[in-house]
Structure 1
Amino acid sequence: MKIKDKIGWKTAGALVVANMIGTGVFTSLGFQVADSQNTWSIIILWLAGGVMALIGAFVYAELGTHFKKSGGDYIFLSRTIHPAAGYLYAWVSLTVGFSAPIAIASMAMVQYWEPLIGVDYSTYLGIAAILAMSAFHSFSVSQSGLVQNILTAIKLLFVFSLILLGLFYAGVLPEAGFDFSSSWTSEVVRPGFAVSMVFVFYAYTGWNSAAYIVEEIDRPVKSLPKALISATLLVMMVYILLQLVFLKHASIEQLSGKVQVATLAFGNLFGTSGIFWVSLFIGIQLVATISGYTWVGPRITNALAKEFRFWQPLAKTNANGVPVRAIWFNTAVSLLLMFSGSFETVLLYAGFVLQLMGTMTIGASLLVKSNDGFRSPFKPWLQILYIIFSLWVMAFMLYDRPKESLLGLGIIGVGFILYLFDRKNELK
């Protein structure tokens, strides 16, 4: 079905920003400071993650403008390596790649709103947010774009308000989490530092979002690179500034092992009222994250369903080209994941699997020899740098968190078994 309306690069960029700025930036620091307490170590973590995301944005802009089909990594891997590789990515996207971030955002929303309204009511609101976003994205691309632009504007207004208040307000905490000593040199070579990169990579997940809806973007050869690169640079700046704000207004002891790092910092800054308003708006801005992944994820499921018989019922779209069945199937998986494990466990195994499959796509880009669209700079050196750095992080992840890593690999294994029994759809 031909898509009747399309979006510009600004809306595509808003989608990328909404998918990136979500759960990770407001929850990761508490896990990171357990192993990396030097401020330079934290800055290096988020700067390195941003550089890797920017390299990825270059590569996905090239792949998206080369293939010009919605479906992201499913299309890229199927066309460059083997249909099995694309199938595995689509399976991963369905089970953890996009469903898990929706579930994790909802779980984080529950944790931030629990002190305000109680765990039962916050859980109901988390579920309601997932269902509402699925409903909003079930009609047309133009409606999806309008909803995403509004939610992203709210998100950015809130985030920049936090940064400005945090940087320019003196605060009252005598022992901030700042440590600019030379201890970072020993921290960055520890296994814990590499595991912390998994949290950072997860926080940057979404830099490739616009590449999954290429067919819904107007003039993608120009619009897609602008959306991916500009949004990634903006988010990198926001992430580093937010970590400095949290460290300025909370001690390492307060932050260590905690999910609600933002409310801890701004509770110190503004007291009970600060906790209330920050918790409230973090929950609200997470709706934009849920919305972004609800829009993008089903496009991969739909691309898979068009080519493989087992998933064929999910290939159907409405009159506006929106894959409604795939949207609601992904929603059901998200709700299931929401109650399947702890926040940290789901985040770690999802992050590991996404990093593995994303690294495979970066490697696959080296097989694309000619391109009539955007070409990533310094090819193949940036791709090689990304692959080496990513393999280093995943190796330490396997060593330090074997349970979560093996769970992620097990999910991939189940997908491969499904591929062996599935068959290509002969219908064109």
Structure 2
Amino acid sequence: MGEGSVRNRKRLQHGQADQQSIQSEQPKTMNLQKKVGLFSGTCLIVGTIIGSGIFISPKSVLLNTGAVGPCLILWAVCGVIATLGALCFAELGTMITKSGGEYPYLMEAFGPIPAFLFSWTSVIVIKPSSFAIICLSFAEYVSAPFYPGCEPPVAVIKCLAAATILTITSVNALSVTLASYVQNFFTAAKMIIVIIIIVSGMVLLAQGNTQNLTNSFEGSKITVGGISLALYNGLWAYDGWNQLNYITEELKNPYRNLPLSIIIGIPLVIFCYVLMNVSYFAVMTPTELLQSPAVAVTYGDRVLYPATWVVPLFVAFSTIGAANGTCFTAGRLAFVAGREGHMLKFLSYISVKRLTPAPAIIFYGAVATIYIIPADINTLINYFSFAVWIFYGSTIAALVVMRFTRKELNRPIKVPIVIPIFMVLVSIYLVLAPIIGQPEWAYLYCILFIVGGLIFYFPFVHFKVKWAQKITKPLTMYIQMIMEVVPPEEDAENEK
């Protein structure tokens, strides 16, 4: 073989090596990456469900049931409902492996209008206002030690909440891996205080402090309206059971890890919630619990003295962990809605360097920041809270519908049909019972807001009026240049 041919072969080998090295430096696809495993998925469920609710106000469930026995039963019932709902969502998530939670399922079963109304209500109100409330709760706990004997100034709480939103949004926009590590850390931190409360409560019970648990059904008040309101409060504490469905595209082996995360995570939360309530009643009478502004803090003052500071610290950890999990998942809803053309197009774009849906996450954080401005955000949350179960029921109804209309779809998980039918009935009860039991104008306002989304749907989404596109195209171009984001790979191919 001659020198020339040897040199040519070496050049060819070097060229192939250089080409391979260049390809290895490039991302495999310009799409969301599968970086969330079983442990991170379980932490996301547990970390998002266990927020501030179980530490601050389990008294709402007791207030609407009237006695310790029905209160504890209802906490377990709420957990069972959450588990059944999560199993229905597991079938949907493994059948339609798209991120965005309820959105792609409603789109597949009922078409674009119900899917748009869900994204409209969730992206604009439900998700960001919930994020704002969690961050405000965190701000109150963190600022309280600096103002002993008095309420922290409202301006301080709101500024700290805004800073918290900015920090969490930045973390989630920068890296999926970093956000997962943050979630895992704060989930571990909140489990420490959960274990402390449960173990100390069991010790007190073993020492004979069972007087508050005897005759536990005495004084109970069981009414249709009261049970529905108690379920509302209990299920609010369990809210987050469907969070993995918002990031299905980022789950490693979703057919395995989605159901396993649910099976491990939610029963763990039920176990913790029931035992924590038992621990509370080992220390406080029902009357004392109802009078406590923050149940876990009162518990810490009586049991953990002089280490009472542990409870506020770890409640703050728990709250910020829930806020991080909420941001991680809700940003994906805005991303999917933008990808389907139901929100501004740039919300579906992905960061070139970070491979995160940065525009959607930043938009979500910006809207949440607006919701910390009003004086009483809790009123707004109450107005729209029952809307969540309208969409939960509609989504599970979509599962029933697709059993008959989309029989060809692969179903790695298939729950008995009686479970989704039961969950649809539960959703109908939860939506109608408060309206019948305690009718308020707020429920009508909520329905009008949901239906009012059609005012935007028909001109901007269905008919795609030209003057709207003239406004959004330059905006999209500037967002691309400033944030260095591009459409997902499949969208870019469709635009060519």
TM-score (norm 2): 0.79
Which residue of 2 is the match for residue 264 of structure 1?
298
Q: Secondary structure at the match of 1:3?
A: coil
Which residue of 2 is the match for residue 318 of structure 1?
351
Shift of 1:407: 4.0
Structure 1 gap segments, 5+ residues each: none
- CA distance 1:401–1:327, shift in 2 (3 Å): farther
Shift of 1:98: 2.1
How many angstroms apart in 1 are the aligned matches of 2:318 and 2:63?
Answer: 27
Do 2:383 and 2:442's aligned partners in 1 also have CA atoms closer than 8 Å? yes
Which residue of 1 is the match for residue 397 of structure 2?
363
Which residue of 1 is the match for residue 363 of structure 2?
329
Alignment of 1:16-35 (within 5 A): 16-35=45-64
Shift of 1:171: 11
Which residue of 1 is the match for residue 86 of structure 2?
57
Which of 440, 445, 460 pairs up with 1:422?
A: 460
Do 2:61 and 2:234's aligned partners in 1 also have CA atoms closer than 8 Å? no
For 1:260-312, what per-residue CA distance to the aligned partner results, in whole angstroms no more than 9, with x for missing partners?
111122222234642x3211210122110010011000111111111226521
Amino acid at match of 1:206: G
For 1:59-83, what per-residue CA distance to the aligned partner results, in whole angstroms no more than 9, with x for missing partners?
1111111111111111010111121
Shift of 1:161: 1.9
Which residue of 2 is the match for residue 391 of structure 1?
428
Which of 215, 229, 235 pairs up with 2:249?
A: 215
How many angstroms apart in 2 are the aligned matches of 1:30 and 1:51?
Answer: 20
How many angstroms apart in 2 are the aligned matches of 1:230 and 1:375?
Answer: 16
Q: Secondary structure at the match of 2:284?
A: coil
Which residue of 2 is the match for residue 80 of structure 1?
109
Which of 177, 180, 187 pairs up with 1:152?
A: 187
Alignment of 1:149-188 (within 5 A): 149-169=184-204, 177-178=212-213, 180-183=215-218, 187-188=221-222
1:37 maps to 2:66: yes
Amino acid at match of 1:36: T
Do 1:7 and 1:218's aligned partners in 2 also have CA atoms closer than 8 Å? yes
Which residue of 1 is the match for residue 122 of structure 2?
93
For 1:158-177, what per-residue CA distance to the aligned partner results, in whole angstroms no more than 9, with x for missing partners?
22222112221469999975
Do 2:52 and 2:318's aligned partners in 1 also have CA atoms closer than 8 Å? no
Which of 280, 284, 290 pairs up with 2:323?
A: 290
Do 2:48 and 2:326's aligned partners in 1 also have CA atoms closer than 8 Å? yes
Which of 328, 339, 357 pairs up with 1:306?
A: 339
Which residue of 1 is the match for residue 275 of structure 2?
241
- CA distance 1:349–1:400, shift in 2 (3 Å): same
Shift of 1:358: 0.8
Do 1:176 and 1:250's aligned partners in 2 also have CA atoms closer than 8 Å? no
Do 1:15 and 1:148's aligned partners in 2 also have CA atoms closer than 8 Å? yes
Question: Identity of counterpart residues, as a percentage?
Answer: 24
How many angstroms apart in 2 are the aligned matches of 1:179 and 1:311?
Answer: 58
- CA distance 1:350–1:258, shift in 2 (3 Å): farther
Shift of 1:111: 3.8
Which residue of 1 is the match for residue 475 of structure 2?
none
For 1:227-267, what per-residue CA distance to the aligned partner results, in whole angstroms no more than 9, with x for missing partners?
12221111111111112222222232333265411112222
Which residue of 2 is the match for residue 377 of structure 1?
415
Alignment of 1:123-134 (within 5 A): 123-134=158-169
Do 2:205 and 2:282's aligned partners in 1 also have CA atoms closer than 8 Å? no
How many angstroms apart in 2 are the aligned matches of 1:27 and 1:71?
Answer: 30
- CA distance 1:171–1:109, shift in 2 (3 Å): farther
Which residue of 2 is the match for residue 405 of structure 1?
443
How many angstroms apart in 2 are the aligned matches of 1:241 and 1:323?
Answer: 38
For 1:320-371, what per-residue CA distance to the aligned partner results, in whole angstroms no more than 9, with x for missing partners?
4311111111112212223335364344334311111111111111122234
Q: Secondary structure at the match of 1:35?
A: helix
Do 2:70 and 2:217's aligned partners in 1 also have CA atoms closer than 8 Å? no
How many angstroms apart in 2 are the aligned matches of 1:82 and 1:257?
Answer: 48
How many angstroms apart in 2 are the aligned matches of 1:254 and 1:11?
Answer: 38
Q: Give the number of equivalent residue pairs.
A: 425
How many angstroms apart in 2 are the aligned matches of 1:125 and 1:400?
Answer: 36
For 1:100-150, what per-residue CA distance to the aligned partner results, in whole angstroms no more than 9, with x for missing partners?
221121232234345312324444433322211111111232222222212
Q: Secondary structure at the match of 1:187?
A: coil
- Name the stretch that deviates more: 114-123 or 306-315: 114-123
- CA distance 1:291–1:280, shift in 2 (3 Å): same
Do 1:38 and 1:178's aligned partners in 2 also have CA atoms closer than 8 Å? no
How many angstroms apart in 1 are the aligned matches of 2:412 and 2:270?
Answer: 22
Let me know the Cα RMSD of the aligned residues.
Answer: 2.6
TM-score (norm 1): 0.91
Amino acid at match of 2:323: I
